[in-house]
Amino acid sequence: MPKFAALFLLFSMANSGLPATSGFVGEFMVILGAVRYNFWIGAIAATTLILGAAYSLWMYKRVMFGAVANDEVARLKDVDRREFWMLVAMAVLVLYMGIHPKPFTDLTNASVDALLSHVGQTKIK
């Protein structure tokens, strides 16, 4: 299943926070916010990023290169043309969001501002 394996690798790397993928943008903003709050919390967040990336690579290795223990799995075929193009469209979005995240962050800006102002209000009178 070479096509599926290649696309699965891209999505696993995006999950790991590889630069120029959507996962990097999200993880960078989370770590930046954590460091601005407290350096040690940011360091712990960065450590979890490393552990998450290691787990994703370990999972990819076991799933794609491990022994097939199930006959049903052994009979699977590579993605067909329709599935391939759907996965390619998602891969393009993952890369576009990693290279140019501003349109997506602008969409969420108003709701994040409202959430922060709501959370920032004190309930004590």
- Residue 7 tokens read as 């696309």
Q: Does 60 fall in a domain?
A: yes
For 20-44, what is each residue's pLDDT tens digit? 888 888 888 888 888 988 999 989 9
CA dihedral 110, 114, 115, 118 (to 10 degrees): 170
> Residues 68, 72, 74, 79: is their CA dihedral positive or negative?
negative
pLDDT band for position 50 (50/70/90)? confident
**Cα 27 from Cα 51, distance rounded (Å):** 13
Q: Does 51 fall in a domain?
A: yes
Q: Does 38 fall in a domain?
A: yes
Q: Does 102 fall in a domain?
A: yes
Number of domains in the chain: 1
pLDDT at 91: 92
Q: Give me the mean pLDDT over the 48-62 stretch.
A: 89
pTM: 0.73
Q: Give me the mean pLDDT over the 64-71 stretch.
A: 81
Selection from 78, 109, 81, 13 nearest residue 52 by Cα: 13
Q: Does 125 fall in a domain?
A: no
Question: Does residue 111 register a pLDDT over 80?
Answer: yes
**Cα 24 from Cα 38, distance rounded (Å):** 21
Query: Would you tell me how many other CB atoms lie within 10 Å of the CB of residue 26?
Result: 17
- Domain around 64: 2-120
For 77-91, what is each residue's pLDDT tens digit? 888 899 999 999 999
